[in-house]
């Protein structure tokens, strides 16, 4: 895995956490298992384009270099996995970070 200036952090449970870790692995983004930092809360009703814009604003506003991803399990929210992966893919800032690796 190449070093990226951006890091994904998640607990690794099924659902949102696992989706973020799987996405990070596929994209070559460094990831960690735990971190106690503030995070942005999004729901599937937000829509992926809007959520990606909110994520980008959050990253800039808080100068985020480590993104903590958490959320419900697949069993509680079956659509969470594709939702999280789509947001991370649509993020313009994460796209730039992937290009720098």
CATH of residue 54's domain is: 3.40.50.450
In sequence order, the β-bridge partners of residue 74 are none
Specify the 3-state DSSP secondary structure of 8.
Answer: strand
Q: Which domain holds residue 89?
A: 7-99
- pLDDT the model gives residue 1: 46
Chain-wide mean pLDDT for the chain? 76
Q: How many domains does the chain have?
A: 1
68 inside domain: yes
Average pLDDT on 90-96 reads 84
- pLDDT the model gives residue 35: 46
26 inside domain: yes
Average pLDDT on 35-62 reads 80
Of the two residues 27 and 56, the one the predictor is more confident about is: 56
1 inside domain: no
pTM for the predicted model, two decimal places: 0.63
42 inside domain: yes
71 inside domain: yes
- pLDDT the model gives residue 16: 78
2 inside domain: no
Nearest residue to 88 via CA among 25, 24, 14? 24
- pLDDT the model gives residue 24: 73
Nearest residue to 5 via CA among 28, 22, 21, 26? 28
């Amino acid at each position: 895995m190449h070093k990226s200036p951006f890091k994904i952090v998640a607990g690794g449970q099924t659902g949102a956490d696992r989706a973020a870790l799987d996405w990070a692995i596929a994209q070559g983004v460094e990831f960690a298992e735990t971190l106690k930092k503030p995070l942005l809360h999004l729901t599937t009703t937000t829509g992926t384009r809007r959520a990606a814009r909110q994520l980008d604003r959050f990253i800039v506003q808080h100068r985020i270099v480590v993104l903590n991803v958490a959320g419900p399990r697949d069993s509680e929210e079956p659509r969470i996995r594709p939702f999280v992966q789509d947001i991370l893919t649509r993020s313009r800032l994460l796209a730039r970070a992937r290009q720098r690796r």
